[in-house]
Structure 1
Amino acid sequence: MNNNLFSLNNKVALVTGASRGLGQAIAIGLAQAGAQVICSSSKPNGCDQTLAKITAIGGQATQIAANLDNEASVTELAQKAIAWQGKVDVLVNNGGTIARYPAVDFPQDEWLKVINVNLNSAFLLSRLMGKQMIEAGAGKIINIASMLSYSGGITVPAYTASKHGIAGVTKALANEWAINNIQVNAIAPGYFRTDNTQALQDNPERNQDIEKRIPAGQWGEPEQLVGAAVFLASSASDYVNGHILAVDGGWLAR
């Protein structure tokens, strides 16, 4: 096998939500594969730890703070990201949030925030980066979907709607941009140990139910998502488009 298929040398990647969890693991993994990585989070200097980890392995990275709930901030993120090295070859729409309320009590402002952060920002960044990628004649967009791109969940209607939307947008953009040598795919993580799933991990009953359903018998660790991200960011996936890749320890197979 040609190992260069998975090389990201001379590629520039933007990863949102890169301060911790899955985003941090993906950013470090892309750097290990040779990419120069732009790490984004909502807080200034929020990605200091991620940058330190990338620097420690000899990688090159920078960070740009952006509020994904704000259209102007997202637009500015895209402009600054492209300006850093004059291009962005790989976009990873990972930044996200979740709110848990029974549907009858779900606050409208929380609904709007989740949709803005998880779905609207991903489309806006994809649109802005997509234009540049079309001009360059190549590009990779990786959206982070969810097991809730397939099912409804409980007390997370906004998150579920946003992740179903991510799956749809992934396919829609792939249909339009495949002719421009742009591959748009998604990763649907199963149950990983992150801040987003802490409430589930801390609930003994839900935690037991989850572990019983996963054929692997255990939660995923963020580093176990890296291989899928590198694959979809590299030339190894040049004929993969509009696909949602589940990395779930077999959850969906049950």
Structure 2
Amino acid sequence: MYAVITGASTGIGKAIAMELSKKATVIITYNKSEKEADAVCKLIASKGGKAFKIKADLRNETERVKLKNEIVKITKQVDVLVNNAGIFLDDGPDVSDKDLQDYFALHAIATARMCSLLKPFLTKNASIINIASIHGMLARPHALGYCASKAAVHAITQALAQEYAPIRVNTLSPGPVDTPMWAEDDKKTIADVAKRTLLKRFAKPEEIAKVVSFLAFDAMYITGSNIVADGGALLYRE
């Protein structure tokens, strides 16, 4: 069994790779973090799993095709595809065209294209999990490009779930997750974000990874859905 996880050298992607490696050989992609990708592969191997790493800038069409070709050299049958690669830039309504293009290229276009490129190699009961965000459902300030592009992810999920059945295609929308993305934020900001969840804390990356594993291997009658794992953030009221 093989699972492909994009953007899996750190954070949520790393946790997903570790979790799925318990049941599958994992193929992880990275763009700039080769040292971290190496560490993930070694950690998986130390626990008896098997992992491959492939470098690719998924915003680029040529690199996406090259990535597909490298994956097919490893396996011609893919059981799980997790489109996790993402970026976050502090922006507002005046977000630059370039940043907006980067957001959509990575979050929306790459998600759709990785699905179509690997479709011929997906097994009959394969599972695709597209990682979005609760901010694709309820936008926040200073994140126009991020929110808009993450909203597009679930539309892609719904379209492909109808076209690819019986292959299952689902969205996972996390709330705040304790990842390196928050490393530069001060303690007060982090505490304020945690306070705005019903559980009063960030998710651990491993908790998100377990939801991905459920969608990948156990949720055989769930497709076209948006699974929210946000600690109750969308329900929080002052």
Answer yes or no: same fold by TM over 0.5: yes
The residue number in structure 2 matching 1:43 is 32
Higher helix share: 1
CA distance in 2, matches of 1:248, 1:15: 21
Unaligned runs of 5+ in 2: none
Q: Contact 1:75–1:124 at 8 Å: present in 2 too?
A: no
CA distance in 1, matches of 2:156, 2:183: 28
Identity %: 31
Q: Contact 2:76–2:121 at 8 Å: present in 1 too?
A: no
Q: Contact 2:9–2:33 at 8 Å: present in 1 too?
A: no
Q: Does 1:146 align with 2:133?
A: yes
Q: What's the C-alpha RMSD, in Å, of the aligned pairs?
A: 1.5
Where in structure 1 do 4 or more consecutive aligned residues deviate above 6 Å? Answer: none
The residue number in structure 2 matching 1:160 is 147
5 Å-filtered alignment, 1:189-200, equals 189-199=174-184
Name the SS of the counterpart of 1:166 in structure 2: helix
Name the SS of the counterpart of 1:226 in structure 2: helix
Name the SS of the counterpart of 1:123 in structure 2: helix
The residue number in structure 1 matching 2:98 is 109
Displacement after TM superposition at 1:88 (Å): 1.3
Displacement after TM superposition at 1:158 (Å): 0.9
For 2:206, give the aligned amino acid: E
Give the TM-score taking structure 2 as reference length: 0.94
Alignment counterpart, residue 215 of structure 1, candidates 186, 195, 198: 198
Q: Per-residue displacement from partner, 1:69-99 (whole Å, max 9, x unpaired)?
A: 1011011112211220222111000001111
Q: Does 1:29 align with 2:13?
A: no
Q: Contact 2:3–2:27 at 8 Å: present in 1 too?
A: yes
For 1:225, give the aligned amino acid: I
CA distance in 2, matches of 1:51, 1:107: 36
Displacement after TM superposition at 1:210 (Å): 1.7
Give the TM-score taking structure 1 as reference length: 0.88
Q: Per-residue displacement from partner, 1:169-204 (whole Å, max 9, x unpaired)?
A: 0111001112xx2000011111011133345x4262
Q: Contact 2:29–2:56 at 8 Å: present in 1 too?
A: yes
Displacement after TM superposition at 1:220 (Å): 1.2
Name the SS of the counterpart of 2:21 in structure 1: helix
The residue number in structure 2 matching 1:249 is 231
Q: Per-residue displacement from partner, 1:128-186 (whole Å, max 9, x unpaired)?
A: 112322xx4231100001011211111111111110000110111001112xx200001
Name the SS of the counterpart of 1:138 in structure 2: strand
Displacement after TM superposition at 1:57 (Å): 0.7
Displacement after TM superposition at 1:252 (Å): 2.0
The residue number in structure 2 matching 1:128 is 117
CA distance in 1, matches of 2:12, 2:33: 19
The residue number in structure 2 matching 1:202 is 186
Q: Does 1:119 align with 2:118?
A: no
Name the SS of the counterpart of 1:81 in structure 2: helix
Name the SS of the counterpart of 1:63 in structure 2: strand
CA distance in 2, matches of 1:198, 1:119: 26
Alignment counterpart, residue 172 of structure 1, candidates 159, 171, 174: 159
For 2:29, give the aligned amino acid: S
Name the SS of the counterpart of 1:14 in structure 2: strand
The residue number in structure 2 matching 1:237 is 219
The residue number in structure 2 matching 1:6 is none
- CA distance 1:44–1:221, shift in 2 (3 Å): closer
Q: Contact 1:17–1:96 at 8 Å: present in 2 too?
A: yes
- CA distance 1:57–1:67, shift in 2 (3 Å): same
The residue number in structure 1 matching 2:170 is 185
CA distance in 2, matches of 1:147, 1:196: 16
Q: Contact 1:191–1:197 at 8 Å: present in 2 too?
A: no
CA distance in 1, matches of 2:92, 2:223: 36
